[in-house]
Structure 1
């Protein structure tokens, strides 16, 4: 796995950070918790200038101060873009260097846009130990990844984010309302990118995630598929040529669900569809039939899997084509 980077003195926001806070290009001074929490933190304020409030962890401090803004943080000022007018690109929602891309900053050249605003729904799976995936995300975006968990989905809540990862939705304690489903649909149509995961072995999680997918005529089948028979997950090796599969030959799968519906087939195994992708308005939807691509064993122990490469491809494809697009480095 490629080495992690940090952008000092910029700070990171861990996955338990609050839902409604993080404005694009800012980060919080709080580093509280992991993705397993069930409550959102207290949002930081938004400044009138270039600083904007970060999302604090559950009960965390959001008192960092940015330039001309209260509760904000300083913005990165380096760009990797090759065109433009010589003005450095920064995370401010503007094409500063006039190269046709907004916020395409990647100081460490790791393939993840430093300005990326990404969030998660639900909680992480507990079948695997550790939290390599969460740490990897936090180290690559200056905003970190904000854990919305069980927050009520509204247009205002979703608006700051470019990419959302739906994890285990069985513990939100309720079903999503029609208004929440409509808010997520609108967010995707307007340019958001959603990836859904499944396989956490709890019936409510399938019901909840399928309710979010229903407007797009996509969903998970009812029967678990492809359980591993030994210590190693089932390798998925049958891929469609697609931006999400570049330089990917295998990733692991265990006791997930087939993906049905009206969307492009991305991956199969033994005649079963395990991934589908769909463009919806200005946004993108990716439906993956498992959750093991978030577990440490798949990232660290199996050299024949390209899990990190897969995530780099997924995040880039899910992000709007005119925003935060940076080059993915060649595999090591």
Structure 2
């Protein structure tokens, strides 16, 4: 298990959250290291393959700035969550578990997710445990350590073009997760990690659907938001994905501004996503036929499902990738002028919304970030 340290400074008085919020004193059990795997993404030069791993050690080049408003300028306190700080001033109040491999495709088909991890690691008073190589056992004791659980690519291999087999959870584990959510836990599920060829086997929905069975939310085994099918003349500007929402060329669907997940999001990039079915969840993003993001209150807890993993890639956060020429964003004659991923997508807003909603039972954090609308 690789633990990611998040140093975000949030205000106690505001119930606004930015990242997965989890139990204050989590010391995760189980095994896991941070590896990221995804579908064959299309970059500015076309589809390809690549892989990466991350432990959250690289610098994040973003401009997210968080300030503490606790007593004496220190971290805020929250009922039921003890804030602790080390000698360097890194404070922890909540804990998150990321379960499953992370994606490895993204822009240039060889991207990582270090920007997301560093956004969390350096600007949050949360702490994340990654379980990405070996499946943890979901017991009440394990789950009690966390406020938010992020479900990712839960397969045995998690390599490019090779999922391996889906992880299998017992009925007792599913029931433990259900009880945890009903008691106030926050669950965020992603999908769409791999597979867009004819006849390929889609494995990333199997374990996730098993764990979501109690919530009446399921991912379909499909491949929507494929730029080869939808047509996207300038998708190379932001590394290949279809703009989900907004008015960019080739954009698809709309984000519902009246929901906690869709609010203040115009567009994010998505590539080979899974559509979502539910008879009771609120739809946050849809094209009228396919639902791409939904949320639901379950007991005292909250569940968020989003059909793609491109919101985790560094190239989408930073707007940079090895195959993308930064000059095209500065040339007024270029169709990509001022259209890098970081300029046209609201990735940080998506995560802020999702985590704020999922972690609504915890009120010890808020975030100050000019890119985020509270």
TM class, shorter-length:
0.5 to 0.7
Once the two structures are TM-superposed, the CA of residue 141 in structure 1 deviates from its matched residue by 2.8
Establish whether residue 326 from structure 1 lines up as the match of residue 366 from structure 2. yes
Q: Which residue of 1 aligns with 2:302?
A: 284
Return 5+ residue gaps in structure 2 as ranges.
1-5, 10-21, 37-54, 56-66, 85-90, 158-164, 195-200, 229-234, 246-253, 320-340
Aligned residues: 258
Q: Which residue of 2 aligns with 1:69?
A: none
TM-score (norm 1): 0.68
Once the two structures are TM-superposed, the CA of residue 27 in structure 1 deviates from its matched residue by 7.9
* Pair 1:328–1:181, CA change in 2 (3 A): farther
Give the alignment partner of residue 197 of structure 1, picking from 173, 190, 193: 190
Give the alignment partner of residue 255 of structure 2, picking from 216, 221, 239: 239
| 3-state secondary structure, aligned to 1:257 | coil
Q: Which residue of 1 aligns with 2:267?
A: 250
Return 5+ residue gaps in structure 1 as ranges.
9-21, 38-57, 59-77, 96-101, 106-112
Name the CA distance, whole Å, in 2 between partners of 1:298 and 1:247.
Answer: 18
| Deviations 1:230-271, CA, capped at 9 Å, x for gaps | 532111111112222332110011101111012000001363
Establish whether residue 123 from structure 1 lines up as the match of residue 123 from structure 2. no
- Superposed CA RMSD: 3.5
Q: Which residue of 2 aligns with 1:24?
A: 24
- Are 1:90 and 1:103, in contact at CA under 8 Å, matched by a contact in 2? no
Establish whether residue 36 from structure 1 lines up as the match of residue 44 from structure 2. no
- Are 1:117 and 1:141, in contact at CA under 8 Å, matched by a contact in 2? no
Name the CA distance, whole Å, in 2 between partners of 1:27 and 1:178.
Answer: 25
Q: Which residue of 2 aligns with 1:210?
A: 209
Establish whether residue 176 from structure 1 lines up as the match of residue 165 from structure 2. no
Q: Which residue of 2 aligns with 1:148?
A: 131
* Pair 1:324–1:133, CA change in 2 (3 A): same
Name the CA distance, whole Å, in 2 between partners of 1:279 and 1:154.
Answer: 22
* Pair 1:88–1:277, CA change in 2 (3 A): same
Q: Which residue of 2 aligns with 1:43?
A: none
Name the CA distance, whole Å, in 1 between partners of 2:255 and 2:188.
Answer: 17
* Pair 1:119–1:179, CA change in 2 (3 A): same
| 3-state secondary structure, aligned to 1:157 | helix
- Are 1:316 and 1:325, in contact at CA under 8 Å, matched by a contact in 2? no
Once the two structures are TM-superposed, the CA of residue 175 in structure 1 deviates from its matched residue by 0.9
Once the two structures are TM-superposed, the CA of residue 34 in structure 1 deviates from its matched residue by 5.4
Once the two structures are TM-superposed, the CA of residue 142 in structure 1 deviates from its matched residue by 3.7
| Deviations 1:32-83, CA, capped at 9 Å, x for gaps | x95129xxxxxxxxxxxxxxxxxxxx9xxxxxxxxxxxxxxxxxxx9526xx
Give the alignment partner of residue 314 of structure 1, picking from 341, 354, 358: 354
Q: Which residue of 2 aligns with 1:80?
A: 69
* Pair 1:155–1:92, CA change in 2 (3 A): farther
- Are 1:24 and 1:91, in contact at CA under 8 Å, matched by a contact in 2? no
Once the two structures are TM-superposed, the CA of residue 327 in structure 1 deviates from its matched residue by 4.6
| 3-state secondary structure, aligned to 2:286 | strand
| Deviations 1:173-214, CA, capped at 9 Å, x for gaps | 631111111111111111111110111226332111110111
- Are 1:25 and 1:92, in contact at CA under 8 Å, matched by a contact in 2? no
* Pair 1:36–1:283, CA change in 2 (3 A): same
Once the two structures are TM-superposed, the CA of residue 326 in structure 1 deviates from its matched residue by 1.8
* Pair 1:103–1:127, CA change in 2 (3 A): same
Q: Relative contact order (alpha carbons < 8 A, sep ≥ 6): 1 or 2 greater?
A: 2
- Are 1:189 and 1:282, in contact at CA under 8 Å, matched by a contact in 2? yes
Once the two structures are TM-superposed, the CA of residue 272 in structure 1 deviates from its matched residue by 1.4
| 3-state secondary structure, aligned to 1:310 | helix
